[in-house]
Structure formats: C-alpha cells, structure tokens
Chains A and B, each alone.
Chain A
Amino acid sequence: MLLITCPHCGPRPELEFVHGGEAHIARPTQPEALNAEEWTEYLYMRANPKGLHAERWRHLHGCARFFNALRDTTTDQFVVTYKTGEARPDLKGPAA
C-alpha cells in the first residue's frame, strides 16, 4: 500500500485516497468553440507516461480535497505532492 502525503493532512495510507487521473487538463473555457478533435483530446487522450506522471489525487476519507502529485510510474514513488492550482514543479526525473 502506498503512503501518500496529502498537502493538507500529511502522510496517510492509500486507502484514504482515490486517484483522479492525469492532472493539469484544463476544462475548455469556450466549449462551444471546440471541434471534434479538440474535444477528443480533452476528454479521452492521455499521456500515460512511463516515468514522471502529474496526476490528481483526492483525500476522500480525510480532508476530501483534491491535490496534485508527481509520481514515477516505473517505481510508484511519489516525488512531490502539491496543492491544486499550483504549477507543476519543474522536475526532470525522480528525486534520488
């Protein structure tokens, strides 16, 4: 089981969290202006990287708030967690 550091509550077991998918996918500000390709990109296309992944988590059985994380999908190691609204930390690879 993963140990996940909620930016609001600190380290908690994975059971308290739900995974929210890829982070930093902004909802279109002008939905009516999007064509089918742009909707497909927004709704369905995902980076699914082997390596660092920016993703949303929700501390459902805790503070219930969403936050973001950078996690290495080859090791499942969390590199950093940060609050929703903050920019993705500029990291090239997993720490150490």
Chain B
Amino acid sequence: MSTPTSPYTPRRATWPGGNGATGDGLDLDPEAFDNGFGFEAIEEIAWDDQPLTQNAPQVETVDPERVSVAVDCASKIYRIRSNTEYRNSTKRIGRHLQRALGSGWSEIPALDELSFVVNRGETVGVIGTNGSGKSTLMKLLTGKIRPTSGEVYATSTPIMLGVNAALVRQISGRENIKLGCLAMGLSPKEAKKKFDMIVEISGLQDALDMPLKAYSSGMASRLQFAIATSVDPDILLIDEALNTGDAQFRARTKKRLDQVRAQAGCVFLVSHSLGTIKQMCTRVIWIEQGRMLADGDPEWVCAQYQEYTDHKSNGRMRAAQIVYDRTRLKLSPIQVEFLEGTRPTKAS
C-alpha cells in the first residue's frame, strides 16, 4: 500500500541554492550577499517533512458489493527495443557499442501511478489528448499488459471493445468472424448463433467471402468492431469505437452499443468527443501526460479539458499549463486499502 509519490517541490518556495540545486536560471547564491539583509530572520520550513497535503486522510469504507474495478497505484513504463537509444547513453564505450550493434532498450514512461475505484453501474469517460496514456490505461484494465507497479483488480476480466481486435489477413471475412468469436471464448454453437448478428452490424453481407486483405480499412474496422460486440461482458471498455465508419454504420453500432451497455455492470468509454462523453458518462477521468488530472463530474472536467485543449491548439502553452496545474490542484487522490488479508491474488 504505497502512497502515491508526488515529488513535492513548491515552485516559489524553494530558494535557489538552498538545497544544492539552483533553479529557474537564477544562479546567485543568497548566502553570499547576506550581510544584514535579514535572511536569518526568515524561518526555514522543511517543506518535505510537512507538505500541505499531509492532512489526516479521510478514510472511507466502501461496500464490496458495489465495487466493480479497483486500480491500486498502477503505473506503466514501456521498455521497448530501439536502435536510436545510443544517443541517450552516457557511458562512452557503451554508447559506441550500442551504436555499432544498433540495439538498446528505451524506456518510455506512459502512466504515472494512479488509483481509482469504480462502482457498479457507473459509466466512466476517459479523456486526454493523444499520447496521454489513455490506451495504456485501457490495456492495463483488460490485463493485456502487466502494470510496472501496482495492480488492477476487478470482479471479472474487463473486455475491450474496439477496433483493434486482430484479424488474419489471408482468410475471408466469414472465417475471421468465426475465428474471432472462438478466440473470445465462445463455443462453436454460440459463434454460429452470433454470426448473423455480427454480419448485420458490420453490414458486410456482400464482402463476406473476400479475403480480408481486399477490405478497405474502414470495412476492416467495421468487421473488427462487429466481432468485438458479440460478447456481453460485465465490465466493458469502449475505445473510440463510436467514431469509426459512415453514418449508417454509426447508427447501427449505437443501437448495439446501447444494448451491450445496458447489460454491462460498468462501462469505460474512451473518446475524443466531449459531446458523447457528457451525454453518456456519470463520471470522467482526465489523463494528461500520463497523470490523472481530474476525476469527477463530467460537466466540470470536460469544461477544464476544453479550455486546456483550446489553449494548446492556439499555442498558449503557459495558459494551458495554468489550467493543468489548477485542475490537478483540485484532485483529491485516493489510496486503495484492503481489509486485513483480503487483497485479491487469485485469477478469474
């Protein structure tokens, strides 16, 4: 049960040179010209010992029956192979070696530690600009990748519903539907039963026997989405799914999505469309630069997000930063605790 570590360094309060580091481009040492200026009179506050946030935490006990998903301090740092990593290497020999071999690991921090608890019946919107870590969070929630630290707990394995279900390019659409259904754990009988529904949602009746490589990218993503909707999960993750396809397809998907959502206990919706989010969600989580900025009322969070993106798109970085900080200030971070010995370890 680690507390979320936020390196607490208030901006104006750290005196340059005070703790060995000179910041903000001010390379004067105040001690040097401290003659009768009165610096001794300033009381030193050890900020790190008693940050302002360290009030007694409010302890809430939640009803375990209602909890659907609990994310406990999950963070993710991708560690991937990269052949340009040598540029960041500091050791001289190592640098040349890496350059000659053309290999190396590069570490990409995608998500800082974040925690939240989602109850049954909630529809949670997840917003954030591109590259902010939304998709990583979704992958963590479905268990496709392990978080670098922390864990994700849920009542059942959440199912991602999106346009990224893998399809085999060489085989026909018909076979892909069957393969996808079986890969999601349906029995052949159930797969046969769902087949007509999938074809109807995808609207690809004419193209079923073509190999997948003959499909346009729009058609392929329609098929992927249709295959993904064939299950009725308890915890549902929807990733940008509403934005694919033409108007006709969108109408059909909306109908099916409403059905699935009605059955699901808890829904996560990742979207760039604030309209959809405000309309459907009871709660919104805003993730920016891998950090959770806000978690709460859709109207308020969306308004902040709107303001932030407006500033960003007009190049007002400073203003955007202010919105960022201001929003984050209001966040009250939570910490998940399990009663003695009930931390789940078993698999579904």
Q: Do A and B come from one complex?
A: no
